[in-house]
Amino acid sequence: MQETVLVTGGSGFVASHLVLQLLDAGARVHTTVRNLRNTAKIRPLADMGARYPGRLHLFEADLLQDGAFDAAMSGCEIVFHVASPFKLPEKIRNGQTEMVEPALRGTHNVLGSIERTPSVRRVVMTSTIGAIFGDYADVRRMKNNTVAEEYFNSSSTVLNNPYHYSKVLAEKAAWAKVREQDRWSLVTINPSMILGPSLTPASESGSLFLLDEMFKGYFFYGMPDLSLACVDVRDVAAAHIRAAENPAARGRYIVSEAHTRTFLEIATVARRIHPRPYLLPTWQIPNALVRLLGPLFGLTQSYMSNHLGIRFALDNHRSRDELGIVYRPFAETIADHYRSWESQRLLSKV
């Protein structure tokens, strides 16, 4: 890859891996960060710049400021729009101001810069499978109980899954804009829960509350019958690059394993590398008991009805056939995720 490209939000969990893979592939990379004076946050990017002299350039840009991406985008042929606010659901206090407004305004501002930058011919945008469905129960209305790219999430709102709702609005805004012109094309990458090693200091995007609690041993007595669809962060970064390189790539790509895994299944794999495997659960708590006690732990009856015991498949064939993604073994992903998580946890104590 010889092009000059822009990666928005370069210090993020996914974006930092994308920047590294682009540099490895030979690209000239512009990337944006919120604050160039935050040396701890940008140190990994500075280290990458030292490894690839003259090929990585950092710019300061605010998602909420009109025109903030103009300078960073100048001369770029490909834009990877990765930056977007992310918070775990339990940390969101106001979905409109914390999730929806920044995601939508940020997307509009990046698209505005694209409109003003004639060199741009391809845009690859990071979305999520949460833009395809909201609650797990939504999948029951999909053909063959399988998540597919043709669907859009219609159940999430600013009050219920505000992060997913923000991604729906942002993605729809991008698709509307691309239909208004014919200079640049758009591809979206819709990953499932992204796990794997983090290249940057502790990131919300590289964290998952229940998984963290499980690693700490808080669920040694057992886990509810909840499941996740997972994908390795390095595979997500690779999918972005393949989508940019392949002129035939089009539309949305589900980037994920082809099925969900229960937390108990994840614990079984993690037990092989956890220094205290006895802290990880070996028993699944019956749903009836979870429904009885769940409200004591903040789980609403609605949430439990829409998630407990629900498994589904994900149709990832386009990411494999058209983007050539060969998914990493889950055991490798969870091992690298745990080691990275444990390393950052120990550093935070110091």
Q: How confident is residue 343, by pLDDT bands cut at 50, 70 and 90?
A: confident
* CATH code for position 193: 3.40.50.720
Q: What is the pLDDT of residue 207?
A: 54
Q: How confident is residue 202, by pLDDT bands cut at 50, 70 and 90?
A: low
Q: What is the pLDDT of residue 297?
A: 75
Average pLDDT over residues 222-237: 96
Q: Which amino acid is at 275?
A: P
Average pLDDT over residues 41-56: 96
pTM: 0.94
Helix (H) / strand (E) element for 231: namely strand 230-232
Q: What is the pLDDT of residue 344?
A: 80
Q: What is the pLDDT of residue 74?
A: 97
Average pLDDT over residues 255-278: 96
Residue 120, pLDDT > 70, answer yes
Q: What is the pLDDT of residue 86?
A: 75
Q: What is the pLDDT of residue 161?
A: 87
Query: Across the chain, which distance is largest between two alpha carbons, in Å?
Result: 60
Dist. CA 141–CA 272, nearest whole Å: 37
User: What is the extent of the structural domain holding 64?
Assistant: 4-349
Torsion sign over Cα 60, 70, 175, 1: negative
> 3-12, 148-157, 297-306: which range is least confident on average?
297-306
Q: Per-residue pLDDT tens for 160-193? A: 889 999 999 999 999 999 999 999 999 999 999 9
Residue 139, pLDDT > 80, answer yes
Q: What is the pLDDT of residue 327?
A: 98
Residue 246 burial by CB count (10 A; 0-12/13-18/19+): exposed, middle or buried?
middle
Dist. CA 211–CA 89, nearest whole Å: 14
H helices within 37-161, ranges in order? Answer: 39-51, 70-73, 95, 101-115
Total tally of structural domains belonging to the chain: 1
Q: Per-residue pLDDT tens for 65-101? A: 999 999 999 999 999 999 887 776 667 888 898 889 9
Q: What is the pLDDT of residue 350?
A: 61
Residue 311, pLDDT > 80, answer yes
57 φ, ψ to 5°? -125, 130
Average pLDDT over residues 287-302: 88
Mean of pLDDT over the chain:
93
User: What percent of the chain is predicted at pLDDT more than 90?
Assistant: 81
Residue 206, pLDDT > 70, answer no
Dist. CA 183–CA 6, nearest whole Å: 17
